[in-house]
Amino acid sequence: MRIRTLLLLSYFVVILLSITLVGTVSFYISYKTMAEKIESASMQVIRQIENNMDNDFHSKRNLMLAPYTDSEYIDGINRYEDMSDQEKFQFRQNIGDLYLKSFNVTPIRDFIRFQIYYSNGELLSSSDARKPWTPSQVRNSEWFRATVAKDGEVFFSGLIVTDEKDTSEVASYSSSIMIRDFSNPDRFIIMRTEYRASLFHSIGLNDNLSENSQIVFLDEDNRLIYESGDHPSSLSESDMLGRVIGKEGKFWTHIGGQEMLVSYTRSGYSNWKAVIITPRVEIFGALDNIKTTVIFTALIAFVITFLISMMFGQRITKPILNLFKSVNRIKRGDFSVRVEVDRNDEIGLIGKNFNAMQDELQTLIETKYLNQIKLQEVELAMLYSQINPHFLYNTLDSIRSMSDYYKVPEISVMAQSLADMFRYNTKNRDEIVTLQEELVQIDAYIQIQSIRFEDKIVYHQMIEEDLYGTPLLKMTLQPLVENAVFHGIERKRGKGNITISAQREQDRIKLTIKDDGVGISERRLNEIREKLKPPMQQAEMNFSAQENGIGITNVYSRYVIRFGDRFNFFIDSKKGVGTEITLIFPPFDV
Alpha helices in 271-345 (DSSP H): 280-329
β pairing state of 457-463 and 496-505? parallel
Q: Are residues 219 and 95 located together in one domain of the fold? A: no
Q: Are residues 90 and 117 located together in one domain of the fold? A: yes
CATH of the domain at 473: 3.30.565.10
Domain assignment present for residue 413? The answer is: yes
Local structure of 335: helix, strand or coil: coil
Alpha-carbon span 579 to 481, nearest angstrom: 11
* Tens digit of pLDDT at every position of the chain (590 positions): 566 677 667 777 777 777 778 777 877 787 788 778 877 888 888 888 888 888 888 888 888 888 888 888 888 989 988 899 899 999 999 998 988 888 887 777 788 888 999 999 999 999 887 777 889 999 999 889 999 998 889 998 876 554 445 555 677 888 999 998 888 888 899 999 988 887 777 776 655 666 778 888 888 888 888 887 665 555 555 567 777 888 888 888 887 777 888 888 988 888 888 888 888 777 776 667 777 777 787 778 777 777 776 676 665 665 565 445 545 555 455 555 565 666 676 666 776 776 677 677 667 766 666 556 655 664 565 455 455 555 665 665 566 566 666 666 666 677 667 766 766 665 655 678 899 999 998 998 888 888 888 878 999 999 998 999 999 988 899 889 998 998 899 888 889 999 999 999 988 999 999 999 999 999 999 888 888 866 555 545 444 433 333 478 888 888 888 888 899 999 999 998 999 999 999 998 75
Q: Which of 163, 179, 195 is at the close of a domain?
A: 195
How far, in Å, are 131, 201, 203 from residue 227 at the CA level? 28, 9, 12
Local structure of 221: helix, strand or coil: coil
Domain assignment present for residue 320? The answer is: no
Q: Are residues 517 and 529 located together in one domain of the fold? A: yes
Instruction: Name the phi and psi angles at 127, rounded to 5.
Output: -85, -10
Contact assessment for residue 162 and residue 174, using Cβ atoms and an 8 Å cutoff: no
Q: Are residues 45 and 67 located together in one domain of the fold? A: no
User: Containing domain of residue 238, as a range?
Assistant: 15-60+199-285
Helix 85-105 and helix 3-64, axial crossing angle in degrees, nearest 10: 140
State pTM to two decimals: 0.47
Q: Which of 154, 178, 195 is at the close of a domain?
A: 195
Q: Which of 160, 195, 230 is at the close of a domain?
A: 195
Reduced 3-state DSSP string for 72-88 = HHHHHHHHHHHCCHHHH
Q: Are residues 172 and 209 located together in one domain of the fold? A: no
Q: Are residues 208 and 186 located together in one domain of the fold? A: no
Query: What is the CA angle 507-509-511, rounded to 5?
Result: 165
Domain assignment present for residue 559? The answer is: yes
Domain assignment present for residue 361? The answer is: no
Q: Are residues 67 and 34 located together in one domain of the fold? A: no
Helix (H) or strand (E) holding 140: helix 135-140
Would you state the torsion angle of the CA atoms of residues 340, 341, 343, 347, taken in this order, to the nearest 10 degrees?
Answer: 90
Q: Are residues 179 and 207 located together in one domain of the fold? A: no
| The pLDDT value given to residue 254 | 80
Question: Is 317 exposed, middle or buried (CB count within 10 Å of its CB: 0-12, 13-18, 19+)?
Answer: middle
Domain assignment present for residue 163? The answer is: yes
Query: What is the CA angle 496-501-503, rounded to 5?
Result: 165
Alpha-carbon span 136 to 552, nearest angstrom: 117
Local structure of 171: helix, strand or coil: coil
What region does 465 belong to: left with phi over 0, alpha with psi -120 to 50, or beta?
alpha
How many separate domains does the chain show? 3
Q: Are residues 145 and 281 located together in one domain of the fold? A: no
CATH of the domain at 30: 3.30.450.20
How far, in Å, are 73, 135, 155 from residue 180 at the CA level? 9, 19, 15
Q: Are residues 271 and 389 located together in one domain of the fold? A: no
> Can you say how many angstroms the Cα of residue 117 is from the centroid of all Cα atoms in its chain?
68
Closest CA to 448 of 524, 381, 395: 395
Domain assignment present for residue 509? The answer is: yes
What is the DSSP secondary structure assignment for residue 229, as one 8-state letter? S
SS3 breakdown of the chain: % helix, strand, coil, rounded to 5? 55, 20, 25
Alpha-carbon span 552 to 525, nearest angstrom: 12
Query: What is the CA angle 75-184-270, rounded to 5?
Result: 95
Domain assignment present for residue 369? The answer is: no
Q: Are residues 22 and 99 located together in one domain of the fold? A: no
Alpha-carbon span 434 to 502, nearest angstrom: 13
Beta strands in 154-313 (DSSP E): 155-157, 173-180, 188-195, 214-218, 224-227, 248-255, 258-266, 273-279
Q: Are residues 170 and 154 located together in one domain of the fold? A: yes
Contact assessment for residue 576 and residue 505, using Cβ atoms and an 8 Å cutoff: no
Beta strands in 351-480 (DSSP E): 432-434, 457-463, 471-473
Domain assignment present for residue 270? The answer is: yes
